[in-house]
Amino acid sequence: MISMKLLAVTSCPNGIAHTYMAAEKLSKAAEAMGVDMKVETQGSIGVENELTAEEIAAADGIIIAADKTVDKSRFVGKRLLEVAVSDGIRRPEELIRAFSEGDVPVYGQGQADAGSRLKTIQEIKQARKSRQNPVYRHLMNGVSYMIPFVVVGGLLIALSLGFGGHPTAHGMAVTPGSFWDHVLQVGTASFSFMVPILAGFIAVSIADRPGLVPGMIGGYIAANGSFYGSTAGAGFLGGIVAGFLAGYVAKWIKTWKVPQMIQPIMPILIIPILSSAVVAAIFIWIIGHPIAIVFSDLQSWLQSMQGASKVVLALILGAMISFDMGGPVNKVAFLFGAAMIQSGQYFIMGPIAVAICIPPLGMGLATFIGRRRYTKDERDAGKAAFAMGLVGITEGAIPFAAADPLRVIPSIMIGSMCGSVIAMLSGVTDHVPHGGPVVAVVRAVDNVPMFFVAILVGIVITALIVNLLKKEIPADEETEGVA
């Protein structure tokens, strides 16, 4: 007998006797045939021995032996054999053999959609996951765990800057040791987990638990340029790379054939250490160096652009600020603006301050006017993004960009470019290295009306473009989170 993993669901009208007899017969027959089998019983006691999503994903096939309707939506894409409960009692061997002989059809998604209204959230997720491509699924897993860190960190930082911040030559500052300083530090702590959590849970989605350590460590290294001699980290885009790298490395090490003696320490010792070492080495010696070079090259390139026309410069700065939101490209533009302030050239930071807040404000607006294009989680993240935008925390838009980079990043870049060009042409300046409406509130901006006009135009353009690109989410999937 070839080794197989089968699952079964049994159910009968009263749920008193046959359900359990069929379950027992199927388990016994499977055992005798050397087949791995788990049986979920839906009897009068309720559902027992419930099949998990992981088990369904790993199964070679599913037998439903029932005289009652059993919801099949969670089995989309699996080979499915549906028979009467009596068949489960009478001829379990035959049912099992049907799978090894290969004449069991795969249950299709078309059939599942018919009964979709009755599906539970869990089942919808399952059905949807089985249709998603795996790369997207891993990405979404990471994003869904990252969102709360972005929201908590962003809002705390926003509150502390909004209530306790004052402009200085080095940006918005909060008096050290004050209450708002503590709030700021807690928010900063939450933000520091953002990229490691993103990378960690991308890796977990790929390799299960052994992926967590290499993923989080890889994410941390990606976010901290000091590991590879760069003044800027690789941002959330680097985190995504680290997450996938860690996940696939851990998954690959899991497949190694090792002596029996070593097996118990594989998941807690060998896999995490080896995969972390591999990911760290790749980042430090292979990926990190080019990031550092790109960073310094971008800096000198931007320096050389000083002579170019103001409009071109504004376009470049706007695009750079919103491209990776806190990543190396963003940082080059921001540091350029800050350096210009030091030399008394405030007209560079003005457009940057506008561009900084457009991604989060634009995405917040987009979730507000295009509710049906976003999940509930995303709409909540949108409100938080809006608050972050007001105090110039570009990172508020990261959950959207990480989940759907090809649609979101171009949209926010175009919005930020428009905003920064308007600001540049109308002489908007900024005397502190910080962005968003808050710098106008603290009177660091010249030509305040045009500062707001530029922001408004940018966020409206961002929201319109991104909603044009994004598709509506079917109503039955609306209850679902980002994951």
Partner 1 sequence: MKLTDLVSRELVNLHLQGSTRDEILREMADVLAANGRLLDKDAYLDAVFAREQEGSTGIGFGIAIPHGKSAAVKTPSVAFGKKPEGVDWNSLDGEPAHLVFLLAVPETAEGNEHLKILQMLSRKLIDDEFRQGLLQAANVDEVMALLETVE
20 is a site residue for partner 1 (CB under 8 A): yes
Neighbour tally for 483: CB within 10 Å: 19
322 is a site residue for partner 1 (CB under 8 A): no
Token pair 């800057």 is at which residue?
161
Which one of 6, 8, 9, 12 is the catalytic residue?
A: 12
- Asked if 418 is an active-site residue, the reply is no
Sign of CA dihedral 431, 437, 438, 443: positive
- Is the CB of 50 or the CB of 103 nearer to partner 1? 50
- Is the CB of 63 or the CB of 216 nearer to partner 1? 63
Q: Is 355 left (phi over 0), alpha (psi -120 to 50) or beta?
A: alpha
Residue span binding partner 1 (CB under 8 A) among the ranges 11-19, 189-197, 200-208, 450-458: 11-19
What span, in angstroms and rounded, lies between the C-alpha atoms of 224 and 288? 10
287 is a site residue for partner 1 (CB under 8 A): no
- Is the CB of 86 or the CB of 116 nearer to partner 1? 86
Q: Which of 6, 8, 9, 18 binds partner 1 (CB under 8 A)?
A: 18
Strands (DSSP E) along 21-143, which ranges? 36-43, 46-48, 61-66, 80-83
13 is a site residue for partner 1 (CB under 8 A): yes
Cα angle 440, 180, 362; round to 5: 45
Cα angle 15, 20, 22; round to 5: 110
Instruction: Name the minimum Å distance from CB 14 to partner 1.
Output: 6
Instruction: Name the minimum Å distance from CB 42 to partner 1.
Output: 12
- Is the CB of 22 or the CB of 466 nearer to partner 1? 22
Give CA 363 to chain center in angstroms: 16
Instruction: Name the minimum Å distance from CB 16 to partner 1.
Output: 5
- Is the CB of 16 or the CB of 169 nearer to partner 1? 16
468 is a site residue for partner 1 (CB under 8 A): no
What span, in angstroms and rounded, lies between the C-alpha atoms of 67 and 9? 11
What span, in angstroms and rounded, lies between the C-alpha atoms of 12 and 310? 76
What span, in angstroms and rounded, lies between the C-alpha atoms of 326 and 194? 12
Instruction: Name the minimum Å distance from CB 30 to partner 1.
Output: 13
What span, in angstroms and rounded, lies between the C-alpha atoms of 205 and 43? 33
Neighbour tally for 248: CB within 10 Å: 17
Binding mask 64-93 for partner 1 (x = CB under 8 A): ---x----------------x-x--xx---
> Could you tell me how many residues of this chain bind partner 1 (CB under 8 A)?
22
Residue type, 100: S
Q: Which DSSP letter does residue 38 get?
A: E
Q: Is 443 left (phi over 0), alpha (psi -120 to 50) or beta?
A: left
14 is a site residue for partner 1 (CB under 8 A): yes
Q: Which of 6, 8, 11, 25 binds partner 1 (CB under 8 A)?
A: 25
Residue type, 320: M
Instruction: Name the minimum Å distance from CB 37 to partner 1.
Output: 14
Residue 230 and residue 291 in contact, taking contact as beta carbons nearer than 8 Å: yes
What span, in angstroms and rounded, lies between the C-alpha atoms of 124 and 101? 31
Instruction: Name the minimum Å distance from CB 93 to partner 1.
Output: 13
Instruction: Name the minimum Å distance from CB 20 to partner 1.
Output: 4
**Subset of residues 35 to 54 that bind partner 1, contact rule: CB under 8 A:** 41, 43-46
Residue span binding partner 1 (CB under 8 A) among the ranges 17-25, 113-121, 186-194, 381-389: 17-25
User: What are 275's two structure tokens?
Assistant: 């995969």
Q: Which of 1, 17, 106, 269 binds partner 1 (CB under 8 A)?
A: 17
- Is the CB of 13 or the CB of 34 nearer to partner 1? 13
Helix axis angle for 310-324 and 235-254, nearest 10°, is 30
11 three-state secondary structure? strand
- Is the CB of 10 or the CB of 429 nearer to partner 1? 10
**Subset of residues 83 to 142 that bind partner 1, contact rule: CB under 8 A:** 84, 86, 89-90
Binding mask 397-436 for partner 1 (x = CB under 8 A): ----------------------------------------
**150 class by beta-carbon count within 10 Å (0-12 exposed, 13-18 middle, 19+ buried):** buried
What span, in angstroms and rounded, lies between the C-alpha atoms of 365 and 380? 12
24 is a site residue for partner 1 (CB under 8 A): yes
What span, in angstroms and rounded, lies between the C-alpha atoms of 436 and 444? 11
Instruction: Name the minimum Å distance from CB 99 to partner 1.
Output: 21
370 three-state secondary structure? coil
Instruction: Name the minimum Å distance from CB 18 to partner 1.
Output: 7
181 is a site residue for partner 1 (CB under 8 A): no
347 is a site residue for partner 1 (CB under 8 A): no
Catalytic residues: 12
Binding interface with partner 1 (CB under 8 A)? 13-14, 16-21, 23-25, 28, 41, 43-46, 67, 84, 86, 89-90
